[in-house]
Amino acid sequence: MQFALNEDQVAVRDMALAFAAEKIAPHALRWDEEKHFPVDVMREAATLGMGAIYIREDVGGSAMTRFDAALIFEALATGCPTTSAFISIHNMASWMIDAFGSDTQRHKWLPKLCSMELIASYCLTEPGAGSDAAALRTRAVRDGDHYVLNGQKQFISGAGGTDLLVAMVRTGGDGPGGISTLVIDGNTPGVSYGANERKMGWNAQPTRAVMFENARVPVANRLGEEGIGFKIAMAGLDGGRLNITACSLGGAQTALDKARAYMKERKAFGKRLDEFQALQFRLADMAIELEAARTFLWRAAAALDRKDPDATMLCAMAKRFGTDVGFEVANQALQLHGGYGYLSEYGIEKIVRDLRVHQILEGTNEIMRLIVARKLIEGAR
């Protein structure tokens, strides 16, 4: 069964595909145009267990695997990569609470996060700390039973439309060892939000800066001990990179399917487009690349599930390869549509715009290469 899905995995994938086709795909273009954040639809997904895919069952989670999650997020992304990607971010933030929180913290927040009655954002990036995340400057100073927060987060998905912020803040000195993780109520006095950013894609979820100005957060909201926040952030990113890769493949698969259908209908020089061998070869290459990326994603997800020592490297590899492939396949699908691909009504240009950012977020693809290179060099010593 190493290269095939079992019955349960097929059922999970097909459930997510059906949900995407019925609840997401028919509305994706309108959500993009209106910059609508479809919270109601995401809560419907949560009733099927997709709001807490790899959260433990005692708090309402589905207790599935990272492999299951890869299947689900790819399937959801066939309807809308942006919506699928945000659900993946919510899952990642919730998992941090499940994995590193105390029983009290888990039972306080996770039941409502699992149902998506509460929605979470992940807050790591800052105006001056993107790829160099360990250089973050948002400061949390201890004051009795509270931390007083000052600083700013940047490019935060869902910000202003979510309830909880899982934020990395500096409680100690410089470097990764001075970072801790706080769960912050989004309505805390002293927490404010910037304008919804005008973006190339991902318009169906808001992206804002989050500002902290003397915001008081209970010490009881810290996940784990002081100084392990960077470890928590990086642990979350392994799975996050798989999720965003899956979203790339789902979007690219829809683009490929649209291109195949278009080529059967469109004629040029007296022949259907799918009768030209050069275009057949291009279609074949797109399918081959997509299948290779999917196989790589599955291998990395399985490695993360079994806590393989090389899991972080494999996740980085899969993210670099899969998000590059996803964007290129979608871009080629647009090209195969000719001028029609550039029109919004065909849905291809939206996929291209949505998938472009996947090569940047959850660690840029340049950083993925750095992670892999470091692992290779360390292994050679």
**Residue located via tokens 């993360």:** 304
CA distance 113 to 46: 9
Helix ranges restricted to H, the chain: 7-19, 28-34, 39-47, 66-77, 81-100, 103-114, 229-265, 277-305, 311-336, 348-356, 365-380
Helix or strand or coil: residue 164?
A: strand
Torsion (CA) 27, 28, 34, 35 in degrees, nearest 10: 130
Sign of the Cα pseudo-torsion (334, 335, 341, 346, in order): negative
How far apart CA 123 and CA 297 sit, in angstroms, is 25
Q: If we measure between CA atoms, which residue out of 122, 3, 116 comes closest to residue 62?
A: 116
Q: Which of 7, 34, 362, 366 is catalytic?
A: 362
**How are beta strands 139-143 and 146-157 bridged, if at all?**
antiparallel
The answer to whether 109 and 284 have CB atoms below 8 angstroms apart is: no
Is 225 part of the annotated catalytic residue set?
Answer: no
> Helix or strand or coil: residue 146?
strand
The secondary structure of 78-112 as a DSSP string is TT-HHHHHHHHHHHHHHHHHHHHS-HHHHHHHHHH
Residues with active-site annotation: 362
